[in-house]
């Protein structure tokens, strides 16, 4: 199977090797067509965003206004902070020029003159690698004003890296824009959507690193070629990041729709000690977890995962064997969302903290039956009541982990049901007047 | 203590202005440079950045407190960051965390008395496939074990 995003070519990250292998020809091909044609091809290719929402990339581009005096912007989202996902750093390291070429084509399609590649601050090494690639591309005239001469076109655009500083929320597109504007990374209320009102109030498109890296190959080989790879409703290859209890964790680029069991057992080498699988989170820590006995026959694409009650997310597959303490896992996941909640919306700010407290109570063997329902109730009250999707990201793991592993969690809480005192005043009176006194 | 950017750093910040239509987006980079020069982000650094970017210093402070990579107090020469999120946890992240805490005798966000080490429990750093991991200042160390981390700490002590 041909690799699209991470081809196995030696030194492909070097500009000379990339050009030798036909690099930057797709950009030339794109600039010879109209921008509408490019958007149309990407739409028909069926390429869906790889950042979590799996939204049609071409459709997203088509929301950008055609007639406007305002400058337009492209943001390439490399904030990559979802626990379990580590694919973008691989692209920065192994295939930065295809990412740059994809950025050029996208800028051309949406009419942007400037693209910002937002990279999380912890990725110092990968920021340097990416900056080197961008500098090389500038030098060879593939980016910036030099493009006019290199490609023989009137169009040119600049690419800049914006370094984050450690905030999960900035991977959310509107938070990313606020962060880029030099503000606290709070999300924005939608509508207005970024295509109307994005960076500095101008039309903006935000795409994931992996999404953009697919673009040159779609233009080069045609949308029909791309649409025929993997599952028709979610075509192309996906970078599956396998982590946790597997023998060979890592990134595997495979066609969408590859069986989850195939990825775990064949590519990632199975579970150490041939243990049974207790739980798999298929798309990064915010996606609903699956029971070990649910994963047989599950295909890894957006639609197939939806059918089994989960989602593709960022395709970060976390595998947990039968000896894993799921309460600890869920408590840790919730601790993460509590830590990363930006604090703007009350349900998320408070709810994530409550869920963490209750889970730690269960972890310390002090939980009760009622705590399980309490957790689900908190999760339900967060979901849908927040400005951005961090609310859902925090609520889903809790709700689905507890409902799908109810028996497991019930084992971990006290059997007796806590009886709540209906009339607090009355109960206090009883303490004030000891029972003996009254009965006398 | 008064803080002024060095001429060289001022130049670096000015280079950043070219990237954006406004000055404010440079705040993140300016704070990084300020932290690098001063060792941490003091109120004076905040004031200087605010002056330079024509922002209210409260807003600069807001940015500083929002992001985890800005430190408002001096950290150790080697800032040890240990990931304990799920993928690392499943492969021994907490054993490493507990062990390092014990070896250095400090808790989360504390600094050793000799100011050589500081410790931080960090969220997912994107090393899930090479877990468990630690980062020392800007460098990642991956595929670790308790023993390997001890070796790293030891070699850092030696080089100091």
The residue among A306, A258, A289, A268 whose CA lies nearest residue A396 is A289
Q: Is the pLDDT of residue A140 over 50?
A: yes
Please indicate if any CB of chain B lies within 8 Å of the CB of A41: no
Q: What pLDDT does A418 receive?
A: 53
Q: Is the pLDDT of residue A419 over 80?
A: no
Q: Is the pLDDT of residue A424 over 60?
A: no
Q: What is the ipTM of this complex?
A: 0.97
User: Which residue in chain A has the smallest CA separation from B26?
Assistant: A182
Dump pLDDT digits (tens) for A298-341.
999 999 999 999 999 999 999 999 999 999 999 999 999 999 99
CB within 8 Å: B68 and A163: no
Task: Indicate the CATH number for domain A234-321.
Answer: 3.10.20.600
> Could you tell me how far CA B101 lies from the centroid of its own chain?
18
Confidence of residue A417 (pLDDT cuts 50, 70, 90): low
**CATH top class, domain B7-66:** mainly alpha
What architecture does CATH give domain A326-410? Up-down Bundle (1.20)
Q: Least CB-CB distance to A122: which of B26, B53, B135?
A: B135
Q: What pLDDT does A414 receive?
A: 78
Q: Least CB-CB distance to A165: which of B70, B90, B138?
A: B70
CB within 8 Å: B86 and A318: yes
Cα radius of gyration (chain B): 18
User: Which residue in chain B has the smallest CA separation from A116?
Assistant: B19
Name which residue leads in pLDDT, B101 or B160: B101
Q: Is the pLDDT of residue A435 over 60?
A: no
The domain A15-228 is classified under which CATH number: 2.60.40.420, 3.40.50.11540, 3.40.50.410, 3.40.50.2020?
3.40.50.11540
Dump pLDDT digits (tens) for A212-253.
999 999 999 999 999 999 999 999 999 999 999 999 999 999
CA distance to partner chain B, nearest, from residue A221 (Å): 31
Q: Is the pLDDT of residue A415 over 80?
A: no
Q: Per residue, what are the HEC states of chain A?
A: CCCCCCCCCCCCCCHHHHHHCCCCHHHHHHHCCCHHHHHHHHHHHCCECCCCCCCEHHHHHHCCCCCCCCCCEEEEEECCCCCCCCCHHHHHHHCHHHHHHHHHHHHHHHCCCEEEEEECCCCHHHHHHHHHHHHHHHHCCCCHHHHHHHHCCCCCCEEEEEECCCCHHHHCHHHHHHHHCCCCCCCCCCCCCCCCCCHHHCCEEEEEHHHHHHHHHHHHHCHHHHHCCCCCCCCCEEEEEEEECCCCCEEEEEECCCEHHHHHHHHCCCCHHHCCEEEEECCCCCCCCEEHHHCCCCECCHHHHHHCCCCCCCCEEEEEECCCCHHHHHHHHHHHHHHHCCCCCHHHHHHHHHHHHHHHHHHCCCCEHHHHHHHHHHHHHHCCCCCCCHHHHHHHHHHHHHHHCHHHHHHCCECCCCCCCCCHHHHHHHHHCCHHHHHC
Residues 260-319 of A with CB under 8 A from B: 281, 285, 316, 318
User: Which residue in chain A has the smallest CA separation from B140?
Assistant: A125
CA distance to partner chain A, nearest, from residue B64 (Å): 8
Q: Least CB-CB distance to B87: which of A80, A83, A182?
A: A83
Q: Which residues of B touch A86 (CB under 8 A)?
A: 126-130
Per the DSSP assignment, residues forming a β-bridge with A357 are none
Q: Least CB-CB distance to A83: which of B27, B67, B85?
A: B85
Q: Least CB-CB distance to B86: which of A81, A163, A332?
A: A332
Q: Is the pLDDT of residue A432 over 60?
A: no
Confidence of residue A360 (pLDDT cuts 50, 70, 90): very high
Provide mean pLDDT across the span A412-436. 55
Domain ranges of chain A: 15-228, 234-321, 326-410
Question: Residue A70 burial by CB count (10 A; 0-12/13-18/19+): exposed, middle or buried?
Answer: middle
Q: Is the pLDDT of residue A427 over 50?
A: no
Provide mean pLDDT across the span B10-36. 98
Q: What pLDDT does A428 receive?
A: 46
Q: What angle, rounded to 10 degrees, do the helices at A209-221 and A35-45 form?
A: 100
Q: What pLDDT does A436 receive?
A: 53
Q: Who's near A306: CB < 8 A, 6+ residues apart? A: none
Q: Is the pLDDT of residue A346 over 80?
A: yes
CA distance to partner chain B, nearest, from residue A361 (Å): 19
| Residue to test with chain A: of B35, B123, B131, most A Cβ within 10 A | B123
Asked if residue A199 lies in contact with residue A77, where contact means CB atoms within 8 angstroms, the answer is no
Paired sense of beta strands B139-141 and A250-255, if any: unpaired
Q: Is 0.80 topped by the overall pTM?
A: yes
Domain ranges of chain B: 7-66, 78-158
CA gap A414, B28 in Å, rounded: 49
Dump pLDDT digits (tens) for A49-79.
999 999 999 999 999 999 999 999 999 999 9
> Rounded mean pLDDT of chain A?
94
Per the DSSP assignment, residues forming a β-bridge with A281 are A318
Q: Which residues of A touch B28 (CB under 8 A)?
A: 162-165, 179, 182
Please indicate if any CB of chain B lies within 8 Å of the CB of A215: no
According to CATH, the topology of domain B78-158 is Glutaredoxin (3.40.30)
Cα radius of gyration (chain A): 25
CB within 8 Å: A83 and B25: no
User: Which residue in chain A has the smallest CA separation from B141?
Assistant: A125
Q: Sheet holding B134-136: strands in order across?
A: B117-122, B78-83, B134-136, B139-141
Please indicate if any CB of chain B lies within 8 Å of the CB of A125: yes
Q: What is the DSSP letter of B129?
A: G
Q: What pLDDT does A433 receive?
A: 46
| Residue to test with chain A: of B41, B95, B129, B134, most A Cβ within 10 A | B129
CB within 8 Å: B68 and A166: yes
Q: Which residues of B touch A339 (CB under 8 A)?
A: 123
Q: Is the peptide bond before A192 cis (omega within 30 degrees of 0)?
A: yes
Q: Least CB-CB distance to A167: which of B24, B32, B68?
A: B68
């Amino acid at each position: 199977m041909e690799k699209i995003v991470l081809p196995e070519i030696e030194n492909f990250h070097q500009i000379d090797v990339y050009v030798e292998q036909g690099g930057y020809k797709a950009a030339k091909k794109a600039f010879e067509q109209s921008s509408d044609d490019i958007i149309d091809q990407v739409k028909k290719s069926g390429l869906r965003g790889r950042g979590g929402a799996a939204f049609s990339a071409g459709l997203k581009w088509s929301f950008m206004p055609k007639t406007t005096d305002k400058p337009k912007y492209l943001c390439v989202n490399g904030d990559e902070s979802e626990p379990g996902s580590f694919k973008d750093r691989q692209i920065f390291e192994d295939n930065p020029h295809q990412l740059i070429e994809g950025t050029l084509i996208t800028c051309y399609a949406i009419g942007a003159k400037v693209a910002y590649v937002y990279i999380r601050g912890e990725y110092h090494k990968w920021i340097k690698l990416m900056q080197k690639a961008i500098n090389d591309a500038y030098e060879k005239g593939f980016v910036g004003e030099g493009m006019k001469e290199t490609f023989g076109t009137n169009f040119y655009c600049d690419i800049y890296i914006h370094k984050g500083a450690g905030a999960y929320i900035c991977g959310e597109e509107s938070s990313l824009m606020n962060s880029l504007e030099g503000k606290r990374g709070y999300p924005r209320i939608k509508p207005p959507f970024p295509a109307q009102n994005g960076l500095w109030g101008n039309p903006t498109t935000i795409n994931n690193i992996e999404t953009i890296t697919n673009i040159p190959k779609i233009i080069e080989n045609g949308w029909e070629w791309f649409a025929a790879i993997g599952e028709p409703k979610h075509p192309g290859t996906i970078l599956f990041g396998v982590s946790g209890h597997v023998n060979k964790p890592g990134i595997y680029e495979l066609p969408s729709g590859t069986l989850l069991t195939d990825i775990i057992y064949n590519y990632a080498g199975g579970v150490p000690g041939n243990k049974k699988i207790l739980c798999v989170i298929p798309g990064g820590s915010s996606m609903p977890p699956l029971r070990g006995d649910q994963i047989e026959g599950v295909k890894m694409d957006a639609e197939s995962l939806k059918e089994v009650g989960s989602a593709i997310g960022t395709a970060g597959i976390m595998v947990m064997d039968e000896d894993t303490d799921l309460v600890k896992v869920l408590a840790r996941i919730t601790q993460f969302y509590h830590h990363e909640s930006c604090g703007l919306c009350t349900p998320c700010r408070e709810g994530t903290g409550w869920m963490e407290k209750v889970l730690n109570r269960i972890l310390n063997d002090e939980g009760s039956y009622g705590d399980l329902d309490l957790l689900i109730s908190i999760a339900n009250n967060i979901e849908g009541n927040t400005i951005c999707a961090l609310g859902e990201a925090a609520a889903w793991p809790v709700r689905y982990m507890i409902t799908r592993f109810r028996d497991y969690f019930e084992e971990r809480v006290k059997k007796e049901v806590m009886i709540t005192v209906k009339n607090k005043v009355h109960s206090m009176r009883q303490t004030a007047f000891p029972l003996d006194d009254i009965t006398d | 203590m008064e803080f002024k950017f060095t001429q060289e750093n001022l130049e670096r910040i000015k280079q950043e202005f070219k990237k954006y239509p406004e000055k404010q987006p440079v705040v993140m980079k300016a704070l990084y440079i300020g932290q690098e020069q001063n060792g941490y982000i003091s109120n004076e650094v905040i004031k200087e950045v605010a002056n330079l970017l024509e922002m209210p210093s409260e807003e600069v402070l807001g940015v500083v407190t929002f992001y985890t990579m800005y430190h408002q107090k001096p950290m150790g020469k080697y800032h040890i960051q240990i990931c304990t999120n799920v993928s690392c946890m499943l492969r021994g992240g907490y054993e490493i965390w507990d062990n390092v805490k014990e070896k250095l005798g400090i808790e989360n966000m504390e600094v050793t008395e000799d100011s050589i080490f500081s410790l931080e429990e960090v969220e997912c750093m994107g090393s899930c496939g090479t877990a468990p991991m630690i980062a020392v200042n800007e460098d990642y160390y991956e595929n670790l074990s308790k023993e390997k981390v001890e070796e790293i700490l030891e070699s850092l002590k030696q080089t100091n």
